[in-house]
Amino acid sequence: DTIKLVDSIIKTAMSKRASDIHFEPMENKLRVRYRIDGELYTAVELEKHYWFNKNKYVRLFDKDDLEIY
């Protein structure tokens, strides 16, 4: 489920004290990376068809209000 995946990405970023999350579309995949202490670390790589066929964008209003379109 996409919402559970995004929730997990955000919770992991928070637990690692990441300052930001990068969603990087590539030719055949989507790379998710965290910036921690100024360095980017790859968190996960998702197959492009899994992510892009379902979602156009993610909007985070606050820690309890997440929308995925």
> What tokens does 38 get?
């100024």
The C-alpha atoms of residue 55 and residue 17 are separated, in whole angstroms, by 26
Q: Can you give the pTM of this predicted structure?
A: 0.71
Could you read off the pLDDT of 5-63 as tens digits, one per residue? 888 888 999 999 998 888 888 888 889 999 999 999 999 998 876 665 555 556 555 55
CA distances, 64 to each of 7, 11, 36, 60, 67 (Å): 10, 11, 22, 8, 10
Q: What is the pLDDT of residue 54?
A: 55
CA nearest to 21, candidates 5, 34, 8: 34
